[in-house]
Amino acid sequence: MGRHGTIAGRKAAQDAKRSQLFTKYARAITVAARSGGDPEYNINLKHAIDKAKSINMPNENIKRAIQKGTGELAGESYEPGSFEGYGPGGVAVIVEVLTDNRNRTTSNVKHAFDKYNGNLGVPGCVTYMFERKGIIPIEKTDEVDEDSLFETALEHGAEDVIIHDDSYEVQTEPQNFNDVEEALKKSGYVLVESGVEYVPTMETTPGEEHIEDLKKMIEMLENDDDVQKVYHNCAIDLTE
């Protein structure tokens, strides 16, 4: 299934990088909390908290991150940003960051691209190959009735439901994501790392000789605490 990876791949990545994800999700909570510390009135904060809870981040960590964002506790000032470029084999890559030091982050991202024969480009050089979509993966289990899932998702504004080997992928327009996600939660479905993501509208299949470097480049980027998410348009599932 290429770009999004399997449910098993997502879970394995979460388990392997749980402590690192605590750092990334805490930053996201802090930034979201600048617009208000009550998740009932701040949908971005609610999503950030939900993601943190999905990897069992302690409530104390979540509370502290919110307080940093609202100014109740002193903390670093993080700013969002993004980088674009091409990885090995011409694969388009988008890197989303939250950073308190733009120069450091730029240097680290550039180093990752350079080390593995990629090319960091200018803003807009690859985003035309992607579109923003709400992505809600749901694991295939005996408890999930396919017809009921389709009916609930589409009834509440989903654009499509894609069937994969081990999961269903509910896709929405960004403006409908919240309604669909809430409806699926209320219906009892277990969601795995849902969010509004960059989805490629055209994919690239790199040569076999580029796959290992591409994996290493993406791994190096994802291991950087400043990096929140890495998107690519590789047609091959890099989690395998």
Q: Do 79-128+202-232 and 130-200 come out as alike in CATH topology?
A: yes
In CATH terms, the fold of domain 130-200 is Alpha-Beta Plaits (3.30.70)
What's the CATH superfamily of 79-128+202-232? YebC, transcriptional regulation domain (3.30.70.980)
Which residue ranges of the chain lie beneath pLDDT 50?
Answer: 1-3
Which among 125, 78, 82 has a CA at the least distance from the CA of 106?
82
Task: State which CATH number among 2.40.40.20, 1.20.970.10, 1.10.10.200, 3.40.50.1370 fits the domain covering 2-70.
Answer: 1.10.10.200
Report domain extents, the chain.
Answer: 2-70, 79-128+202-232, 130-200
Percent of the chain with pLDDT over 70: 92
- Model pTM score: 0.85
92-110 pLDDT tens trace = 999 999 999 999 999 999 9
